[in-house]
A = this chain, B = another copy of it.
Amino acid sequence: MITILKQDATKQQRDNLIKWFEAQGLKVHISEGEFQTVLGLVGDTSRIDDSLIDALDIVERVTRVTESYKAANRKFHPEDTVVSIGDVKIGGGNFAMIAGPCSVESEAQIIEVAESIKASGATLLRGGAFKPRTSPYDFQGMKAEGLELLLEAKAKTGLPIVTEIMNAEHLPLFEDVDVLQVGARNMQNFELLKAVGKTKKPILLKRGLANTLKELLMSAEYIMSEGNENVILCERGIRTFETYTRNTLDLSAIPALREHTHLPIVIDPSHATGKASLVEPMALAAVAAGADGLMIEVHNDPEAALCDGAQSLRPEQFAQLADKVRKIREALV
């Protein structure tokens, strides 16, 4: 860690700061320039809060030389992590196709969707039972009943299931769920992260709408520091000034995360774009950029046909997408 002091720092202030660093067990190298003094800190700086130091009157800037995440860091764990979910593997060259409806709505719905996506090559079934909704008046999901229907669909098709958990108190209900999803709005719900870190289940951790990649890795670190190393990272769009798409899908997160972490990286183009017509191009782009998996909303609703055009694909659209994904993966071997 490097701390650059302001030109007008007094000797007294400087000495106080250096003493404080030394009291934290760090060695301090001092280098004087014409307009500033630079302090190089050597030792375990992972417990130093750089935003605190950065806010000091006498400090111009703080730069970390080593990242404060350890368990998630590729530097200390160069090999790709492969997360196993039953027979399904993800990461290290293993590609996962996760698909299913936004919300579980009925037995017929979830089973029909599960069977159709399996036929098209999906390897995991997703479906929301507990739904985080901006408005308290919107449908909040089928909850425990939804989980049961997912397990039924798993029993019928053999597809492991992925579903969102919003509250650590619900953990007992999720005992048979294969992958726990932590949603974007809970990416920095540290209490929830610690709770799922105490389980052994794979965790699909979604990037928050306004969180940096570094913060995503720090949240993964929360889970991993509790002993659970089965973390799958998921980019699902960030919030920007652009209003045409619901969010802006940040695909450069794939190679950028790849450099910094060994954890698998999945892309969710359905929530990112909010429009079915954009799902296929963005899914193919994610595969070309090297994603370890996709998470795609698929819906079937032949009666009302309401959602035909929403962000969900129809089963036949998903089959076509899955086919193109295979072609791109083969082309890039």
Contact = CB atoms under 8 A, between A and B. Distances in A.
Interface of A: 2, 4, 7, 13, 16-17, 19-20, 29, 31, 33-36, 38, 40, 42, 46-47, 49, 51-52, 54-61, 63, 65-66, 68-69, 75, 132-139, 166-169, 185-186, 188-191, 194, 208-210, 212-215, 218, 221-222, 225, 238-246, 248-252, 254-256, 259, 272-278, 281-282, 284-290, 304-311, 324, 327-328, 330-332
Given A36-B66, A248-B240, A305 B16 contact: yes
Given A20-B304, A281-B288, A136 B221 contact: yes
B238 A137 contact: no
Instruction: Give the number of copies in the complex.
Output: 4
B4 A63 contact: yes
A61 B63 contact: yes
Contacts of A277: 57, 255, 259
Contacts of A304: 16, 19-20
B278 A255 contact: yes
A10 B142 CA distance: 33
B4 A65 contact: yes
Contact of A327 (B139, B218, B332): B332
21 contacts: A29-B31, A38-B65, A55-B309, A56-B308, A68-B135, A132-B188, A132-B190, A134-B218, A136-B225, A137-B225, A167-B168, A186-B189, A213-B244, A240-B240, A240-B248, A241-B241, A242-B250, A243-B243, A245-B256, A248-B252, A284-B288
Best-buried of A210, A304, A332 by chain B (most CB within 10 Å): A210
Nearest to A256: B244
B167 A307 contact: no
Contact of A288 (B35, B139, B287, B330): B287
B47 A65 contact: no
Contacts of A281: 252, 254-255, 288-290
Contact of A282 (B36, B75, B289): B289
Given A56-B309, A284-B289, 18 more contacts: A35-B75, A46-B137, A51-B246, A51-B274, A55-B274, A55-B309, A55-B311, A56-B306, A57-B308, A136-B190, A210-B210, A213-B244, A240-B240, A243-B243, A248-B248, A281-B289, A287-B288, A330-B331
A191 B166 contact: yes
A245 to B, nearest CB: 5
Contacts of A250: 240, 242, 248-249
A54 to B, nearest CB: 7
Nearest to A249: B252
A41 to B, nearest CB: 10
A254 B273 CA distance: 12
Given A55-B309, A60-B65, A212 B241 contact: yes
A47 B225 contact: no
Nearest to A195: B167
A51 B247 CA distance: 12
